[in-house]
């Protein structure tokens, strides 16, 4: 059967092949060159997070991704306002289409795989516009100066043209970030998405731990960082004051409680240990005697992408629930507009306080579930400022169960999708080992035999890694952290750092022994 009969996506091939993209290197990129490109892209990223969108009224702006900002990188109101969300959403859509066999592409065929990747790039542009336009027409307000200046030239068109200018800047920044991700993937080390996530999470944790500045808008001069806050309260409180409430404020009260710092360190150590756990299959070269090696099957086999995809799914649910509840253009939408069961959002807030979006959203810290269950005096800690809202103990328990279950099941599903769409399943790995000239000692050199051996491990480890990642991310969310970093973001940052360390070691090894490039895959 011809390619164009196998998949309708081949009709898009003339378009997607002409899209701007980063050229793939012709040969091996030296380690020093990769380090330079990686550092350069990281510096450019930090610069872009500090370039504010021209014509934006910062005081009236709402960040729809506020509670997911540490995961999706970027900076609210900046040139990279959308962060990596369009890239992740495009990946989710392509995985769902591929998993449901809607696109009908063979990921082992080079032409089909290239079409899959190019179509995903095209979807990134669509997702940039899908996410930028609703925000600019409801939550990113143009400044009165810009609107007035445009009205002076185009009478009556000031607001519309000002919004178009804001959308254009967001779209350019979003696509530029996507190209930066490609530069890191092809010319640097790791991926740009991972690099940007680590940069944002590390910055948040460092600030939340050591920031000596008081909390913005706070009534006291207590530092907002966990360590300075602890030192300040201990130095300025008597023994009786510490016993009556000082220790409780240090350990549990926001922002940046000391318990959150301890949780962050514990999560860091757990993930670092689990990331280093693996099963190693012995390999030997079929033609070169004495040439032996091992194929590592990591306990976290699917890497961090399933967690990123689940976080993106949660962010989209929160985004559209908020649009349907608060945006005038969506409030009259049949069956969904203005419905409390979809999600209730107080004026000026991007975090739900009821409805389905609330049950699925992150449970950030003990103060959002355990403390209100223990004592009624903690119940007010959950209510947003200026909002009179209370929860029963049954609602709190239900939220914990729903959030934990959703994270676990969703990570399990995305882990299996990810393995199938990235050629990490048993059949694909068997072919890769076979093509490298390696085999498992004591077994016949046949990809079918390798596949049967690998099927003892890969499907089970894939499911386990998905369940483990979802459970750990949800559990760390419920324990809390510092710097606005959720449990998911800490999980991602540590996993990415461990993988980056291993990849740097592998790059250095290939630099010293170029023959190993044939096994690991040369660029």
Summarised one tens digit per residue, pLDDT across range 44-98 is 999 999 899 999 988 888 887 777 777 788 888 898 999 888 988 888 788 777 7
In whole angstroms, what is the distance from residue 445 CA to residue 362 CA?
A: 49
The verdict on domain 29-190 having CATH code 1.10.3370.10 is yes
Helix extents (H) in 222-292: 226-235, 239-241, 247-252, 258-275
The upper half-sphere exposure of residue 199, i.e. CA atoms within 13 Å in the direction of its Cβ, equals 23
pLDDT in tens, 108-162: 777 887 888 888 888 999 999 988 888 887 788 899 898 898 988 888 888 899 9
Query: What is the rounded average pLDDT for all residues in the chain?
Result: 83
Place of tokens 């490109």: 37
Q: For residue 43, what pLDDT band results from cuts at 50, 70 and 90?
A: very high
For residues 316-331, give the mean pLDDT.
86
pLDDT band at 2 (very low <50, low <70, confident <90, very high): very low
Could you read off the pLDDT of 232-272 as tens digits, one per residue?
Answer: 999 988 989 888 888 888 888 888 888 889 988 888 888 88
Percent of the chain with pLDDT over 70: 91
Q: Give yes or no on whether 29-190 and 256-523 have one common fold.
A: yes
Q: Is the pLDDT of residue 292 over 80?
A: no
pLDDT exceeds 90 at position 227: yes
- Structure confidence at residue 3 (pLDDT): 43
Question: Distance between the two ends of the chain, CA-based, in angstroms?
Answer: 31
In this predicted structure, the answer to whether residue 441 has a pLDDT above a threshold of 80 is no
φ, ψ at 392 (rounded to 5°): -80, 160
Q: Does 256-523 carry CATH code 3.30.870.10? A: no
Domain definitions of the chain by residue range: 29-190, 256-523
**What is the predicted pLDDT for the residue at 290?**
57
d(CA 54, CA 328): 25
Confidence of residue 515 (pLDDT cuts 50, 70, 90): low
């Amino acid at each position: 059967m011809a390619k164009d009969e196998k998949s309708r996506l081949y009709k898009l091939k003339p378009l997607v092949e002409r899209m701007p993209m980063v050229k793939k290197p012709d040969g091996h990129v030296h380690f020093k060159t990769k380090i330079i490109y990686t550092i350069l892209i990281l510096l450019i990223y930090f610069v872009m997070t500090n370039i504010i969108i021209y014509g934006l009224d910062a005081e009236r702006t709402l960040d729809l991704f506020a509670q997911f900002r540490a995961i999706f990188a970027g900076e609210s109101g900046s040139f990279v306002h959308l962060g990596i969300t369009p890239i992740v959403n495009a990946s989710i859509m392509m995985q769902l289409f591929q998993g449901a066999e809607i696109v009908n592409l063979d990921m082992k065929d080079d032409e089909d795989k290239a079409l899959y990747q190019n179509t995903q790039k095209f979807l990134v542009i669509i997702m940039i516009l899908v996410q930028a336009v609703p925000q600019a027409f409801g939550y990113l307000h143009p400044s009165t100066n810009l609107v007035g200046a445009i009205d002076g030239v185009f009478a009556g068109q000031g607001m519309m043209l000002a919004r178009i200018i804001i959308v254009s800047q967001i779209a350019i920044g979003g696509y530029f970030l996507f190209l930066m991700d490609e530069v890191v993937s092809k010319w640097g080390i790791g991926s740009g998405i991972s690099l940007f996530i680590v940069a944002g999470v590390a910055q948040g944790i460092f600030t939340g731990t050591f920031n000596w500045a008081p909390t913005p808008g706070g009534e006291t001069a207590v530092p907002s960082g966990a360590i300075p806050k602890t030192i300040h309260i201990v130095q300025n409180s008597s023994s009786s004051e510490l016993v009556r409430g000082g220790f409780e404020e240090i350990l549990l009260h926001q922002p940046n409680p000391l318990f959150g710092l301890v949780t962050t360190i514990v999560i860091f150590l757990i993930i670092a240990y689990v990331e280093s756990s693996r099963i190693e299959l012995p390999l030997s070269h079929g033609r070169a005697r004495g040439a032996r090696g091992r194929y590592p099957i990591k306990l976290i086999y699917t890497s961090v992408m399933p967690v990123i995809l689940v976080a993106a799914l949660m962010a989209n649910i929160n985004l559209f629930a908020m649009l349907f509840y608060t945006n005038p253009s969506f409030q009259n939408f049949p069956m969904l507009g203005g419905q409390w069961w979809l999600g209730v959002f107080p004026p000026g807030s991007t975090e739900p306080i009821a409805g389905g979006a609330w049950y699925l959203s992150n449970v950030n810290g003990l103060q959002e579930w355990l403390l209100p269950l223990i004592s009624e005096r903690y119940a007010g800690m959950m209510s947003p400022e200026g909002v009179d809202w209370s929860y029963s103990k049954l609602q709190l328990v239900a939220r914990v169960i729903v959030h934990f279950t959703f994270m676990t099941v969703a990570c399990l599903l995305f882990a299996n999708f990810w393995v199938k769409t990235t050629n990490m399943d048993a059949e694909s790995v068997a072919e890769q080992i076979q093509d490298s000239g390696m085999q498992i000692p004591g077994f016949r050199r046949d990809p079918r035999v390798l596949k049967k051996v690998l099927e003892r491990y890969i499907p089970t480890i894939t499911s386990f890694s998905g369940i483990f990642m979802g459970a750990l991310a949800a559990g760390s969310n419920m324990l809390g952290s510092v710097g606005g970093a959720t449990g998911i973001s800490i999980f991602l940052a540590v996993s990415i750092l461990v993988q980056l360390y291993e990849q740097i070691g592998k790059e250095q090894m290939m630099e010293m022994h170029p023959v190993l490039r044939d096994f690991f895959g040369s660029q």
